[in-house]
Amino acid sequence: MKVFPITSISNFFDDPDEVVKFAKSLKYTTPKEGIYPGVRTENLSKIDYAFFNKTILSILSVYYEDYENIDYSQTYLGFQKIKPYSKSFEDVRNKGWIHRDDTALGGLIYLNKQSYPESGTSMYTLKKEPVKNKVAVQTKLDFYGKNKFNLNQFKKEMASLEKQFVKTHTFKNIYNTLVAFDGNQWHNVDNLYCNSKEDRLTLVFFIHKIQARDYPKLRLDKIQSFSKDDYLKYLKYKRI
């Protein structure tokens, strides 16, 4: 069940240029087992806790008025750089695999000032449960982690995966734009080739556990379940 709506906010940081400067000063490491493309920094909670805390609270404030009282344990916030696998927008290796993060809330902020808008992020709905992606996942891991690539198999598995989904939203890669979504939301990177001079730079976050009194979708469900009289009583109560 998804309890957080898909959300996008332009001009997220007051001074994104300083954030980019910070990102360029840090060390990046390659993931074990090729679970994602590119490289990431250590969790920023260990590098600059003030920046980490302010950024996560800013994201949570989109969903909660009492964001300072929300417990967001097991959270990763870090910069990610992805070098394209070729300088061709049409190269299938630059296309991201549909996946979900299995967290409470996740997302990213785009940090390339000059980028191809089509190198953004798309959201998907699965046509029919369960998803059949075992071979696709292994193909992805072999490519990202071991640089094993067979063009025909790559295309076959990506096409087999994509035909199981319907694309519902696409967000362009626009500088300093936040895209956030429920951890159970299927999504992918539209293209890893963001421009001809830079690696694709984003600030990514994964909040694995959120403890709150309620959640956006549950609040919606509650109001939708009201009768007209109950809703009028609810509004009257809220004004007191």
Q: Where are the domains of the chain?
A: 7-215
Q: pLDDT for 108-160, tens place per residue?
A: 999 999 999 999 999 999 999 999 999 999 999 999 999 999 999 999 999 99
The model carries a pTM of: 0.92
Query: Which tokens belong to 132?
Result: 């059949």
pLDDT attached to residue 111: 98
pLDDT attached to residue 212: 87
CA distances 122 to 85, 164, 186, 190, 215, Å, are 20, 15, 9, 6, 23
pLDDT attached to residue 230: 64
Q: Which CATH architecture has domain 7-215?
A: Sandwich (2.60)
pLDDT attached to residue 98: 98
pLDDT attached to residue 32: 83
Burial environment of residue 37 by CB neighbours within 10 A (0 to 12, 13 to 18, 19 or more): buried
Mean pLDDT by 10 residues, the chain (240 residues): 94 98 97 93 98 97 92 94 95 97 96 96 97 96 95 96 98 98 98 95 97 85 73 61
Phi-psi region of 34 (alpha: psi -120 to 50; beta: other; left: phi over 0): left
Q: Name, in order, each residue with C-beta under 8 angstroms of 145's C-beta and a sequence gap of 6 or more.
A: 31, 32, 33, 34, 35
Query: Which tokens belong to 212?
Result: 């709150």
